[in-house]
Chains A and B, each alone.
Chain A
Amino acid sequence: QSVLTQPPSVSGAPGQRVTISCTGSSSNIGAGYDVHWYQQLPGTVPKLLIYGDTNRPSGVPDRFSGSKSGTSASLAITGLQAEDEADYYCQSYDSSMSGHVVFGGGTKVTVL
């Protein structure tokens, strides 16, 4: 059971908008700690997609965006493309966990 909860899967048609939620608690997202997102394409290692809640590293298309409110964060993909089919993970800091680093369970995005 992950500290950060994500839906196991979401799907959408090409061109549609999909969102992935990442729900935490008062010891992580709710405490104001930043949320980061990673994309793992099939057969590859994770790649940083969003950092500090809303920031995109250089090279990440602007159809990916992040937001945060209360104890939850979201990743939105607008104009969904076939190459966006991947697993997506949120990550944050948790003050109550001994190691402090926590991941969500991951969400598989399927492009219909």
Chain B
Amino acid sequence: GENVEQHPSTLSVQEGDSAVIKCTYSDSASNYFPWYKQELGKRPQLIIDIRSNVGEKKDQRIAVTLNKTAKHFSLHITETQPEDSAVYFCAASNGGADGLTFGKGTHLIIQP
């Protein structure tokens, strides 16, 4: 089955700086890669996703890049703000009726 590795497990950045979180996946059949933000005790919130026919996607301060050949994808957050502090999860699936395989999560800490 699919295996998703996520790094780093903890990331501390100064407010206003950029943050990058990286994930690799093992199943070349995976074609859907979402990123979720989860605050303590709450549901995961989809912040951005990318499909395998696209190499990059951007939504305001958030961007995701995908390298299918290397089987890795990354989340980029620019101009970080205190409210960006949370745990971020990457995930992968074959799409449609397949469940998501999640990475282990990155605790992002924004230092004021």
Q: Tell whether A pairs with B.
A: no
Interface residues of A, Cβ cutoff 8 Å to B: none
